[in-house]
Amino acid sequence: MTTPSAILAVEKLSVDFGGLHALRDVYLELYSQEVVGVIGPNGAGKSTLFNALCGIVEPTDGSLTLNGISHAWPKTHELADLGIARTLQGVGLFPDLTVLENVMIGATKFANSGFISAAFGRSKDEARLRERAMLALERVYGTGFAHRRADSLSYPDSKRIAIARALVSEPKILMLDEPAGGLGEEDILWMNGLIHNLKLQCSVLLVEHHMDVVMSVCDRIYVLNFGEVISSGDSEKVRRDPAVIAAYLGTGVE
C-alpha cells in the first residue's frame, strides 16, 4: 500500500526580513482530515509561516506541494481556488453588515461575477450564496445570529462567525490563527469541540497559545523556536521532548 500524499507539504521554507531569519528550513506536512498545531514562543515565526502560505509574505527559499504536486507559493487571490481559507488573529468582520452578509462575502468564489455585486446584486447568485452562508452558520451553531449586525455580537460569538466565513468557501485546508485567543473557559471548551468536528470536513492548521486546546485537538504538533522546527510529533512526544521543555522554560507557556 502506498502512503497517501500530504494535502500540503512545506520543505526548507525560509523567510528573511532584512537580516532577520524569521523562518529557516521549516518543514511541515498536513494530511487529509488532520488537525495540525504550530506552537512556539512569541517571535518564533508562527504568523510568518501562515503568511507565507497565504501569499502575504514572500519566502526567500523553500518548496510547497499540494496533493503531491509541486506548486508555487500561493498568491492571496488564488487561495480560495486552491481550497485554502484562513481566519485572522483579530476577528475582522464588517461591523455594519449583518452576520449573514459577512459570511456570504466568504462565499463569493461560487458566484459567476465579481465580488460585492455578486453577493448582493443578482438575485439568483444571492439566493445561492445565502443558502451556503446559512449552511456554514449551521456548522458553527450560528444561524440564530444571521440577521444581527456584526457589531452587536459578543467577542466569542464573532469568533465563531469568522470561522463560518472561512468555512463557506468549503476549504480543504483551514488555517486558524489563535481561535481560542481572548476566550473564557466555557467558550474555549466550545471552540475545542468545534475544531474537533471541523476535521470531518477539512484539514486544520492551527496556531494557538492555549496549550490545553492544542494538546487535546491536534493530531500532530510542530514546535517553532527562533524560526526553526525544534520538534514535531503527537502531543505526548512533543510534551516530553527536552528541546521543547528547554525552549519554553521561563517563557511561561501554560
Question: What 3-state DSSP class applies to 191?
Answer: helix
Cell of 67: 496533493
Q: Contact between 251 and ligand ADP (CB under 6 A)?
A: no
* 19 scored as a contact of ligand ADP (CB under 6 A): no
At its nearest, how many Å lie between Mg ion and the CB of residue 43? 8
Q: Is 42 in the site for ligand ADP (CB under 6 A)?
A: yes
In sequence order, the 6+-apart residues with CB closer than 8 A to the CB of 4 are 31, 32
What are the DSSP E strand ranges found in 128-207? 173-177, 203-207
Neighbours of 252 (CB within 10 A): 7
3-state secondary structure of 86: strand
Q: Would you count residue 47 as binding Mg ion (CB under 5 A)?
A: yes
| CB of residue 226 to ligand ADP, shortest distance in Å | 8
Length of the chain: 254
Which range in 44-52, 75-83, 142-150, 153-161 contacts ligand ADP by CB under 6 A? 44-52
Q: Is 46 in the site for ligand ADP (CB under 6 A)?
A: yes
User: Measuring CA to CA, which residue among 231, 230, 236, 196 is closest to residue 215?
Assistant: 236
> CB 94 → Mg ion: shortest distance, Å?
23
Q: Are 31 and 7 spatial neighbours (Cβ–Cβ below 8 Å)?
A: yes
Q: Give yes or no for residue 106 binding ligand ADP (CB under 6 A).
A: no
String of contacts with ligand ADP for each residue 47-86, x by CB under 6 A? xx--------------------------------------
> Closer CB to Mg ion, residue 133 or residue 218?
218
List contacts with Mg ion (CB under 5 A).
46-47
